[in-house]
Chain A
Amino acid sequence: MADAPTRLTYDYVTRTIARTLGNPTRGYFILLGAAVALLSVGIVTLLYLIRYGLGLAGYSHPVYWAVFITCFVFWVGIAHSGTLISAILFLFRSGWRTAVYRTAEAMTVFAVMTAGLFPLIHIGRQWYFYWLVPYPNERGLWPNFKSPLIWDEFAIGTYFTVSTVFLIMGLIPDIAAVRDLATGWRKKLYTLCSVGWRGTNEEWRHYTRGYLYLAALATPLVLSVHSVVSWDFAMAIVPGWHATIFAPYFVAGAIYSGCAMVITLLVPIRKLFQLEELITVKHFENLSKLCLLTGSIVGYAYVCEYFIAWFSGNPTERAAFWYRAFGPYWWATWTMLICNAFLPLLLWFKKIRTNLTALFVISIFVNIGMWFERYVIIVVSLAGEPYTPWANAVYNPTWADWGIMAGSFGWFFMWFLLFVKNFPAVSIAEVKEVLPPPRRSGARAHA
């Protein structure tokens, strides 16, 4: 944000962001109401699933990983760009991240919270969730640490914890800033949440150092988490899953979908909270460049997968990929290819990168495409197992699958909307950091 208009002062930044925490408008309540309504659909569906069992979902042999696991991978993927923007771009010292990273980071935390629900829903008996914790069963047998599912649990658990503390750490100086402007119950809430922050040189000394190390730890973590998620599949010998390209392919896809989701969320938030001066078109352009980069990696990975399937000469592998593109699920595969590999090519044009309506529409298509990517990888690979032709089945999701999925969107948006109305959705301290500081001469040049 080196080219920020000079009329932005520290005071203006604090007040503009603090204003977003004022009394909610009707539009906000309508959005929140819609989120809660969607969540209710999910809760009712879950109650049905608990009462009548997982048979209500469309599982059919051999497809026992289906929409719930698809949604799990989708939401974990969404989470990834938050840490990319907050940690990796922090280490790269890219100034433009300051205006958008808080939203992305909050999105990360809530997306992991949403993702975490799916393994629980998928196991069917949620009250046995603690079986996932490493403790010996009644025969003294411990969990199998050679299983990628256990790695996944450790990876997601660590990711959720670290991204939550990273979000909270970043929030502390900002909550202190809004605390000093707030009145009434908000003042009390922020006083409690700001843990006595005053901005002394000692506080900043430890804080900035600690923040740097958190970013340095979060960076390899974000790359590892989706690699581990990809190994849930790549470690199995199912054709279409058993590929070494899976880890980088999944990480790129995750960041791609996450950046698209950041655009989907920021366009309405910027409008709703009138943050046009802080979140500029330049920010969206940079986000769409990230989408273009990661989307190209994803497109390349698709080409690789098909090429290697053909080049390997392995009839099983070839059959699996033929089934994907031209089998009964051709529509899912082609939706994925068009939304993820072809549509984002429009982002090569600056006119489109700077047109927020176009970006918003493209970002939604990318999200749809990335959901279908996971659907294709998980469901279609299992359904079309060419080495067990007698076990083939065409799986179709039922109302229970869609109900739970709708509920997950409601759950995510509910937390997100509550967050942006109660805590600063744009980092106050970090936006000020990229502004020229006030100097006696009035010259507001960089130091």
Chain B
Amino acid sequence: MIPLPKPLRDLFQAAPTPGVLGVFGHLDATVDAINKLRAAGHTDFTVYSPIPRHEIEDALSQEVSPVRMFTLVGGIAGCAFGAWLTLYMSYDWPLVVGGKPVGSIPPYVVIMFEMTILFGALSTILGIVFNAIFAARRLGTIQWDPRFTNDKFGVFVPAGADKAAGAEGLLKGSGAEEVRRG
């Protein structure tokens, strides 16, 4: 691994979090495990899945992603930028074209619209990236398995040595095909 300076290391190469990883072959077993973990008081576990599934979302009862605020703010900023761009540039060197007012709103709506979409889309991407990085930073370096992008589901429960046995039993009881400590 490439050594990184400190702030970047904290962000991208966080210290390993001890815990238990369960590998699941079935969606309903994974949902079962999530329900049992929540009932047992675990809140900070991570679920891996090859695709997004509503069953997992519902079991986790996650809040709606804050990405939507990025989209909204980006869109409004883009619209304002489009208005500023066209009106400022028209009045900076006022020149009557085709007998129309120097700052004509109807044609400028096209630019404002395009800028709304452009800024909205780019800030949505930033929203996804920032939120994903912050989430990854909060989780630290946790166990993972390459099969999670193919056909397996996974649940990682952060647990110290004292709680690991309990989490392990819970994952096995829900139908995990494989349970690993790390």
User: Which residues of chain A have a CB within 8 Å of any CB of chain B?
Assistant: 9-11, 14, 134, 136, 140-146, 150-151, 154-155, 157-158, 161-162, 165-166, 169, 173, 176-177, 179-181, 196-210, 213-214, 217-218, 220-221, 224, 228, 429-430, 432-433, 437-441, 447
Contact = CB atoms under 8 A, between A and B. Distances in A.
A146 B99 CA distance: 11
A158 B117 contact: yes
Given A9-B151, A209-B65, A228-B110, 10 more contacts: A142-B92, A143-B89, A161-B121, A165-B125, A202-B132, A206-B65, A207-B52, A209-B67, A210-B71, A217-B120
Residue of A155, A199, A433 most packed against chain B (CB within 10 A): A199
Contacts of A200: 46-48, 135-136, 139
B115 to A, nearest CB: 7
A165 B149 CA distance: 22
B47 to A, nearest CB: 4
Contact of A203 (B111, B124, B135): B135
B125 A201 contact: no
Contacts of B118: 157-158, 161-162
Contacts of B64: 209
A146 B50 contact: no
Nearest to B147: A180
B90 A142 contact: yes
Interface string B59-90: 01010110110010001000000000110011
A221 B136 CA distance: 33
Interface in B122-162: 122, 124-125, 127-128, 131-132, 135-136, 139, 144, 146-151
Nearest to B125: A165
B50 A429 contact: yes
A201 B127 contact: no
A221 B71 contact: no
9 contacts: A140-B92, A180-B146, A180-B150, A198-B148, A204-B52, A207-B128, A228-B110, A429-B51, A437-B27
A141 B124 contact: no
B6 interface: no
Contacts of A143: 89
B98 interface: yes
Nearest to B32: A440
Given A134-B89, A203-B132, A447-B55, A179 B68 contact: no
Nearest to A152: B110
B175 interface: yes
Interface in B1-27: 12, 25-27
A206 B53 contact: no
A200 B148 CA distance: 9
Contacts of B47: 200-201
Contacts of B97: 144, 146
A180 B144 CA distance: 12
A433 B144 contact: no
Nearest to A203: B132
A14 B148 contact: no
B33 to A, nearest CB: 12
Nearest to A208: B52
Contact of A14 (B26, B110, B127, B151): B151
B90 A14 contact: no
Contact of B50 (A144, A145, A181, A432): A432
A146 B51 contact: no
Nearest to B59: A201
A23 B60 CA distance: 42
Contacts of A177: 50, 149-150
B146 to A, nearest CB: 4
A417 to B, nearest CB: 26
Interface string B80-116: 0000011001101101011010001001101101110
A13 to B, nearest CB: 9
Contacts of B110: 151, 154-155, 224, 228
B164 interface: no
A155 B113 CA distance: 9
B43 to A, nearest CB: 13
Contacts of B25: 438
Contacts of A205: 57, 62, 65
A173 B149 contact: yes
A32 B132 CA distance: 38
A206 B89 contact: no
Interface in B26-46: 26-29, 46
A206 B132 contact: yes
A335 to B, nearest CB: 33
Contacts of A432: 50-51
B171 interface: no
B48 A440 contact: no
A199 B93 contact: no
A210 B65 contact: yes
A169 B124 CA distance: 11
A143 B144 CA distance: 54
Nearest to B62: A205
Nearest to A436: B27
B132 A220 contact: no
B21 to A, nearest CB: 12
Given A151-B110, A158-B118, A438-B27, A199 B92 contact: no
Contacts of B90: 142, 145
Of the candidates A141, A142, A200, the one having the most CB atoms from chain B within 10 angstroms of its own CB is A200
B95 to A, nearest CB: 7
B142 to A, nearest CB: 8
B56 interface: yes
A440 B28 contact: yes
Nearest to A141: B93
